Structure 1
Amino acid sequence: MLVRDIANKLENLAPIEYAESYDNVGLIIGYLHQKVKKILITLDITEEVIDESINKKCNLIISFHPIIFKPIKNITGKTFSERIIIYALKNDISIYVIHTNLDFVWEGNISYVSKLLQITRNKVLFPKKGTIKKLNTYVPNNYVEKVRNSLFEAGAGNISNYSHCSYNFDGFGTYMGNKKTKPFFGQKEVFHIEKEACISVIFPSFKLNKIKEALFKSHPYEEIAYEIYNIENINPYIGIGTVGYLKEKMNEHEFLFFIKKKMNFPCIRHSHFTGKKIYKIAMITGSGSFGIEASIKEKADAFISSDLKYHDFFKYEKKMLIVDVDHYESEKFTKKLLKYFLDKNFPSISVYESEVNTNPIKYFF
C-alpha cells in the first residue's frame, strides 16, 4: 500500500477542495509513491509525536492540524515547524494533513461528537457554497443510456438520498464538418441533422475532472457539445457546524455536567444561565465564535464551541447558553474517527492513535 492509496481514500471522505483557503491540507511532507508500513494519527505534530512514530515504526503520520501554514523561505531548524520537517525527512516519515476539509463533511468530527452527545435530527449550521456543479450535454439517441450511466458511475446525479437523478429532453443537433473532420454520423462538408437528447445532471464540484473524463470516454462524437455551470444549490450535508436536538430536555446545570462527563472536559466556561431548558443544540468543534449569531437565529437553547473571547459571551442576550470548551478536547475525537475509517478501508495496515497529549494548554485546579 502506498501513501497515494491512503491519500485517495481520505480525499474521498474529505475532498481537498472543501478546505478553507487559508488552510494547508493533503500531503505536506514525503512522497506519494512511498510504501506505507504503519500509520500514526495525531491531532498535532510535535517532536514527541515524531519520536512515537519512530518507536512504533510508523512511516506515515496523519495529522488534523497542519505543521506548515505559511510559506517557509528556508529550513534551518530555528523554529518549531522547521525542526519537525527536518526530523520527519531524516526518518523517511511522510506527513498527511486532513483539517478543515474534514470539518466540512457530514462524516467528520462534528458527527462523532453529535453521536456522543446523542444529538439527533441534525442539520448543517453553515452550509458551504459552491460545492455543486451542473452538466448539460447533447448525445445521439442511441448513446443516451451509455453516456448517462457513465456519468452516474463517475458520481453525477446524486441528490440527498436519491441517486441516478437526471433530466432529459429530445431535440435535434445540427453540424457540418470540414475536410479535417471524421463525423460519427453524416459526411464531412455536408450539413447534417441528428436526433439527440440533452442530459442534465448535477455533481459535486470536486469530481469535475472525473465527470469530464467519463463524458469524453462514453460520448461517440469527436467534438462533444457540453456546458458546465456553477450553481447556488446547497448540499445539506456539506458545511461547518451542526444544529440538532438532545434525547431529552435538561436544565442548564444538568446539561453542563452531561457534556463535561460525555466529552471528558477538564473544565467548561459558560455565559450566564438563561433559566431555559436545554433541548436544541448548535455546535462547532474547534474555534467557532463566528457561529453565535447564527445559533441565536436558529433559536438554539445552547451553543457549544471553543476559543471564545471575553466579549463573545455578551452576545448571548439572555436567549441562549454559550458554552466554551477546550479546543483540543473538542477535536480529540478526530483520532478515533480516522482510525475507524482507516481500519475499515485498510485492514492489513496497523493504525495507531497517538498517545501523546499535544494540547499546549494546561489547567491548574
Structure 2
Amino acid sequence: MIIQDVIRQIEEFAPLSYAEDFDNVGLLVGTPDQEVKGILVTLDTLENVIEEAIEKNCNLIVSFHPIIFSGLKKITGNNYVERVVLKAIKNDIAIYAIHTALDNHFQGVNARICETLGLQHHRILIPKDNAIKKLVTFVPKEAAQSLREALFAAGAGSIGNYDNCSFNVEGTGSFRGNEDSNPVIGEKGITHYESETRIGITYPKHRESKVLHALFKNHPYEEVAYEITTLENKHQHIGMGMIGELPEPTAAEDFLKTVKSTMHCGVIRHSEFTGKKVKKVAVLGGSGAFAIKNAISAGADIYLTADLKYHDFYRAENKIVLADIGHFESEQFTKNLLVEYLTKKFTNFAVVLSVCNTNPVKYL
C-alpha cells in the first residue's frame, strides 16, 4: 500500500475541498507513491512525534494541525517547524494534515465534543456556503431512469435525510449534427426532434468528478448537453461548530465543572453567568471567537470554544455564557476519531495513536 491509498480514504471521509481557504491541508512532506509501513496519528507534529514514529516504524504521520502553515523560505533548523520538517525528510517520514477539512465534517471535531459531553440533537452551527451544486441535463425519455440511478450511485440527489432526489420535466429536444457528427439517434444533416427528460439534481461539490463521470458514461448522446450551477443554499451537514442540547437543564457552574472534568481542562475562563440554566450548548473546537454571534443567534445558553481574548468576553452581553476551555483540550479527541476511522479502513495494517502530549500550554 502506498501513501496515496491512505490519502484517498482520508479524503473520502473529509474532503479537502471543505477546508477553509486560509488553511494548509493535505500531504505536506513526502511523496504519494511512497510505500506505507505504518501510520501514526497525532494532533500536532513535533520533534518528539517524529521520534515516536521512528520508534514505532511508522513512516506516515496523519496530523490534525499542519506543521507547515505559512510558506517556508528556508529550512535550516532555526525554529521548531524547520526542525520537524528536516527530521521528517531525513528519516523518510511523510506528513499529512487534515485540520479544517475535519472541522467542517458532520462527524468531525465538534461532533466528538458533543458526543463526549452527551449533547443530543446536534446540528451544524455555521453551515458552509457554496458547497452544493446543481446539475441539469437532457436525456432521451427511455434512458432517463438508468441515468438517474447512475447519478444517485455517484453521490448526487441527497438532501438532508433524503436521497434519490431529482426533478424531472418531459419535453421535446431538437438537434442537427454536422458532417463530423455520429448521432446515436437521427441522421447527420437533418434536424431531429426527440422526446426528452430534463433532469435536475443536486450534489455536494466534492462529488463533482464522480457525478460528471457517471453522466458521461451513462448518457447515450455523442454530445451531452448539461448545465452546472453553484447554489447559495447552505449545506446543513457541512460547516463550522455545532449546537446541541443537554438531556436536562443544568446550572451553568455545574455544567462547566462537568466540562472541566470530562475534557481534562487545566482551567476554564468564562464570562459572567446569566442566571439561566444551560440547555442549548454551542461548541467549536479550536479558535472560535468569530462564531460568538452565531452561537447567540442560534439561541445557545453557553458557547464552548478556545482562544478567546479579553474583549471577546464582553460580547456575551448577558445573552450567553462564553467559555474558553483551551485549544488543545477542545481538539484532543480528534486523533482518536481518526484512528477509529483508519483502523476500520485498514484492518490488517498498523494505525497507531500517538502518546505524545503536544499541548504547549501548561497550568500551575
TM-score (norm: length of structure 1): 0.97
Structure 2's unaligned 5+ residue stretches are none
Separation in structure 2 between the aligned mates of residue 137 and residue 16 of structure 1, nearest angstrom: 27
Cα displacement string for residues 116-159 of structure 1 (whole angstroms, at most 9, x for unaligned residues): 11111112111110000000001112211221111111110111
- Compute the RMSD of aligned alpha carbons: 1.1
Which residue is 1:87 aligned to?
A: 87
Q: What's the CA shift string for 1:290-314, capped at 9, x where partnerless?
A: 1212222222111111000001111
Mean alpha-carbon deviation: is it higher for 128-137 or for 201-210?
Answer: 201-210
- Contact kept in structure 1, 2:113 and 2:283, CA below 8 Å: no
The within-5 A match list for 1:155-304 is 155-304=155-304
Q: Which residue number corresponds to residue 101 of structure 1? A: 101
1:282 and 1:225 map into 2 onto residues whose CA distance is 45
Matched AA of 1:102 = L
Task: Tell me how far apart the structure 2 counterparts of residues 272 and 336 of structure 1 sit (CA, whole Å).
Answer: 33
Give unmatched runs, 5+ long, in structure 1.
none
Within 2, Cα distance between the matches of 1:74 and 1:179? 59
1:135 matched to 2:104: no
For 1:316, the aligned partner's letter is A
Paired position in structure 2 for 1:13: 13
Mapped pair 1:28 → 2:39: no
Name which of structure 1's ranges 308-317 and 290-299 shifts more when overlaid on structure 2.
Answer: 290-299
- 2:351 is aligned to 351
Cα contact 2:124–2:238 (8 A) shared by 1: yes
> SS at the partner of 2:235?
coil
In 1, Cα distance between equivalents of 2:189 and 2:215: 26
Give the distance between the partners of 2:348 and 2:249, measured in 1 at CA.
44
Partners of 1:200 and 1:256 lie apart in 2 by 48
Residue 326 of structure 2 corresponds to which residue in structure 1?
A: 326
Hey, what does 1:72 align to over in structure 2? 72
How far apart are residue 345 of structure 1 and its match? 1.1
| Mapping for residues 31-42 of structure 1, pairs under 5 Å | 31-42=31-42
The alpha carbon displacement at 1:221 in A equals 1.2
Shift in Å, 1:241: 0.7
What percent identity do the matched residue pairs reach?
A: 46
Aligned length: 364
Provide the residue aligned with 1:309 in structure 2: 309
- Aligned with 1:308: secondary structure? coil
Q: Distance in 2 between matches of 1:21 and 1:263?
A: 29
The SS at the match of 1:236 is strand
> Is 2:2 the counterpart of 1:2?
yes
Q: Distance in 1 between matches of 2:190 and 2:332?
A: 67
- AA in 2 matched with 1:287: S
Aligned AA (1:100): T
Task: Report the Cα distance in structure 2 between the residues aligned to 1:181 and 1:280, rounded to whole angstroms.
Answer: 62
The one-letter amino acid of 2:55's match is N
Structure 2: distance between partners of 1:286 and 1:267:
15
Q: 1:153: which partner in 2? A: 153
Between 1:331-340 and 1:269-278, the stretch displaced more is: 269-278
* Mapped partners of 1:157, 1:91: distance in 2: 46
Deviation at 1:267, TM superposition (A): 1.2
Quote the residue 1:51 is aligned against.
51
